[in-house]
A and B are shown apart, each in its own frame.
Chain A
Amino acid sequence: MRRYRIPFLPLVVLVFAIATAMPTLTSNPTLREELFLVFMLVTLASSINIIMGYTGYVSFGHIVFFGLGGYFAFYLMQVQGWHFLAALIAGAIPSALIALVIGIPILRLRGAYFALATVGINEAMRVVFNNWEEFGGAVGMFFNFSVYARYGGASQARDLGYYSMAAVAISTIAASYWIKRSKFGLSLMAIREDQDVAMVVGIDPSRAKVAAYVISAVFPAMAGAAFFFRNGLIEPGHAFELQRSIESLVMVVLGGIGTVAGPIVGAAVYEWLRGFLITNPTLASFQLSLAGLLLLVVVLFVTAGLVGWLRNRFPVLRSYIP
Chain B
Amino acid sequence: MRTRIGAVALAVLGLVAAACGGGSTATPTASTAASGGATTQPAVTKTLNIGFTNSQTGAQQVASTKQTEGIKLWVDQVTKAGGIKLKDGTVLMPKITFYDDGSATDRVQQLYTKLINDDKVDFLLSPYSSGLVKAAAVVSEQNGKVMVTAGGADDATMEQGFQNIYQVYTPASKYLTGAIDLMLKLDPTIKKVAIVNEKDSFSVSVVAAAKPYAESKGLQVVVNQGYDTGTTDFAPFINQIVAAAPDAIIGGGHLVDGSALAKALKEKNVSARFVALLVAPPEPTFADLGDAAQFIVGPSQWEPAVKYSEAGAKALNIPYYGIAVDAFTSAYRAMFNAAPSYHSAGGYAAGLVLQKALEDAGSTDPAKVKAALDKTDIMTFFGHIKFSTDQKTHGKQVAHDMVYVQWLKGSDGKLATQIVWPPEAKTADAQLRK
A interface vs B, CB < 8 Å?
15, 18-19, 22-23, 28-31, 33-35, 38, 130, 137-139, 142-146, 148, 154-155, 157-158, 231-233, 235, 237-238, 255, 264-265, 268-269, 271-273, 275-276, 278-281, 302, 306-307, 309-310, 313
Contact = CB atoms under 8 A, between A and B. Distances in A.
A30 B23 contact: yes
Given A38-B18, A281-B26, A142 B134 contact: yes
Nearest to B165: A145
Contacts of A35: 18-19
Given A233-B134, A233-B135, A146 B18 contact: no
A19 B27 contact: no
Contacts of A238: 105-106
Contacts of B113: 29-30, 33
Contacts of A31: 20-23
Contacts of B200: 138-139
Nearest to A264: B15
A232 B138 contact: yes
7 contacts: A31-B20, A34-B22, A138-B226, A139-B204, A231-B109, A233-B135, A310-B8
B23 A154 contact: no
A185 to B, nearest CB: 23
Contacts of A278: 26
Contacts of A272: 14, 17-18, 21
A280 B135 CA distance: 24
Contacts of A18: 19
Interface string B1-44: 00010011011001101111111111100000000000000000
A84 B257 CA distance: 38
Interface stretch (B46-54, B154-162, B276-284): B154-162
Interface of A is mostly: helix
Contacts of A29: 113, 117
B95 interface: no
Across the A-B interface, give the 9 residue pairs with the lowest CB-CB distance, nearest first. Answer: A31-B22, A269-B14, A138-B199, A279-B26, A154-B142, A268-B18, A232-B138, A279-B24, A306-B11
Contacts of A302: 7
Nearest to B162: A145
Nearest to B138: A232
A20 to B, nearest CB: 10
Contacts of A280: 26
B31 to A, nearest CB: 14
A279 B25 contact: yes
Given A142-B160, A265-B15, A269-B11, A155 B143 contact: yes
Contacts of B23: 28, 30-31
B27 A281 contact: yes
B374 interface: no
Contacts of B27: 281
B21 A275 contact: yes
A146 B391 CA distance: 11
B285 interface: no
A145 B141 contact: yes
B160 A143 contact: yes
B18 to A, nearest CB: 4
